[in-house]
Every structure is written in C-alpha cells, then in structure tokens.
Amino acid sequence: MPTGMQMAPQVAVARHPTNRLLELLEADDLGLLAPWLRDVRLEPGMLLHEADETIQHVYFPHGGMISLTVVMQNGEAIETTMVGREGAAGILAGLGLWRAAERAVVQIAGTAARISVSNFQAAIARSPAIQAAVVDYAGLLMACYQQSTACNALHDLESRLCRWLLQADDRAGAGRLGLTQEFLAQMLGVRRTSVTMIARMLQASGMIHYRRGMIEIADRHALEQASCECYGTLRRKFDGSFNPRGGAERPVVCAC
C-alpha cells in the first residue's frame, strides 16, 4: 500500500461517475481514486469547510450546488463562485493548500463523491494526469473569481441575478430551485428589497415563477438574453476545457 493511504472505505463511487472532472480521467487514473471515494448526501446549509480552517475532504458533486463565499468580520458574506458537477470543492488541497481561502456551504441538495485530502494527495503523487486536471481546474476557478469581480463591479443587478439563476439551474437540472430571496440577496451582496423588486420584474415578464422559496425557470431563453455576458463567457471556457473520456464534445455547466 502506498505511503499515506488509509484503509479503503466499504462504499465506493459508482463505476461511471456523473462528475465532469472525474469523467475526464482515464480508467487507470480514476482507479487510483475510486477505492477511496465515498458517496455522500449534500443537504442545504451543510458546511463543508470554513475559511482559514484545514480542509479535510475534497467533494466531487454529482448534482446540487456548493457556494464558495467570502465572509467578513461582521458576518456578511458574498459568493465568489459556485461548484457543481463540473468540478470539486476543496480540490486545491490536493496541491498542498490545506487551509481554505473561503467558506464552502451547500445551497442546493444533491450527492457528491468524497475523498480525504491525504488519499487525494497520494493519488496525485502517482498520476500526472490527475495533477494536470487539478491544475487546469484551478486555472478555471481563477477565471471565475476574476469574472465574478468584474461582474459585481460593472453589471446591474437584474443581469447578475439572471446569470446566477442560470448557473444554479445548470447544477440542479430540473428548472426548479429551492432558494429564498434572503439567500439570493446575500449571495449577490445586495439588499433583500432589491432582489424582491427584480424577482417581481422577472416574474411579470414570464421568465420565472416564484412562490414560497421556490423559483421555477419558465423561459430559459429569455433569461439568457437578459443575463450579462459573464454567463456565456465562462460557460464557453468550461465547455472548451472539459471533454469527457472518448473525445466526444458535450455541454458542460460553468462554475462562474
């Protein structure tokens, strides 16, 4: 058994993972991870790691959505990026960055394949392909951070909210999102009254239906037209970077 490996868990990841990052790996490389991956349920509000804390696990979502947020001293938080089935939360720990730079909290329920950081690092040490995938994904996350900074500074709230709903829908995949206006206001760094006003406008225009903390996307095409350019920009970056095993082109959600 390689140095650093622990006893394999009894429950392993599915043979054909739905996580896009894992799908990039060839069978031999995925085989280094599979014995140590355990499927776990992601529930809204679940804290995966806190800022400045040591990261214990890496999560590869099969569905749902994880928010990475920066938290201020007064408790206010703003989202910097999302993680869904296109990537992983805590993945930079595989490169030795054990301390989290942000809070990772589940916002939309789903499942994920979880692996301990020590086992993930051991697999990276044996596989240049896994290391390259992690480095490439880290570059995409950096692009997300940069685009998010520009978006928050330059684009109006309506187009930003449309962008955010599209990204969340990419992860949920059902057209219905269990999200409160209070949560949306926090993620976008604005007042709740502002989100309420914009949500009513989107509903009046037929783009969404909203009631009792549930948002249903009624006209995705119109929502894409009303979104800022950031959604399309980063989606193209991710679609161009993620190509599943076998080489066939396939749409991939972005994590901006």
Q: ∠ at Cα 123 (119, 125), nearest 5°?
A: 115
Does residue 173 sit in the same domain as residue 103? no
Q: Are residues 165 and 139 in the same domain?
A: no
Instruction: Tell whether 143 and 164 lie within a shared domain.
Output: no
Same domain, 136 and 172: no
38 shares its domain with 139: yes
79 and 167 share one domain: no
pLDDT given at position 256 = 42
**Spans of the chain below 70 pLDDT:** 1-17, 172-175, 240-256
How far is 48 from 193, CA to CA, in rounded Å?
Answer: 29
Residue 126 shares a structural domain with residue 145: yes
**CATH number of 216's domain:** 1.10.10.10
Q: Which of 97, 131, 151 is the last residue of a domain?
A: 151
DSSP-derived secondary structure letter, 243: -
Residue 45 within a domain: yes
The total number of structural domains that make up the chain: 2
Residue 241 within any structural domain of the chain? no
Asked if the structure places residue 253 within a domain, the reply is no
* 26 and 147, same domain (yes or no): yes
The radius of gyration of the chain's CA atoms, rounded to the nearest angstrom, is: 18
Can you give the pLDDT at residue 93? 94
Do the strands 176-178 and 47-49 form a parallel or antiparallel pair, or are they unpaired?
Answer: unpaired
Indicate whether 141 and 188 sit together in one domain: no
DSSP state of 188: H
Claim: this prediction has a pTM higher than 0.85: no
Tokens of 133: 């995938």
pLDDT recorded at residue 214? 84
> Reduced to 3 DSSP states, what percent helix, strand and coil does the chain have, rounded to the nearest 5?
45, 20, 35
The residues with which 81 forms a beta bridge, in sequence order, are 68
CATH number of the CATH domain containing 50: 2.60.120.10
Q: Name the DSSP class of 115.
A: E
Q: Is residue 242 part of a domain?
A: no
26 and 128 housed in the same domain: yes
Task: Tell me the per-residue pLDDT of 219-255, one tens digit each, with 9 for 90 and over.
Answer: 999 999 999 998 888 788 777 666 544 443 333 444 4
Q: Is residue 12 part of a domain?
A: no
Residue where a domain terminates, one of 151, 178, 206:
151
Residue 168 and residue 145 share a domain = no
pLDDT of residue 237: 76
Q: Residue 239: inside a domain, yes or no?
A: no
Domain check: are 53 and 124 in the same one?
yes
Q: Report pLDDT for 239.
A: 73
Boundaries of domain holding 105:
20-151
**pLDDT for the residue 173:** 63
51 in any annotated domain: yes
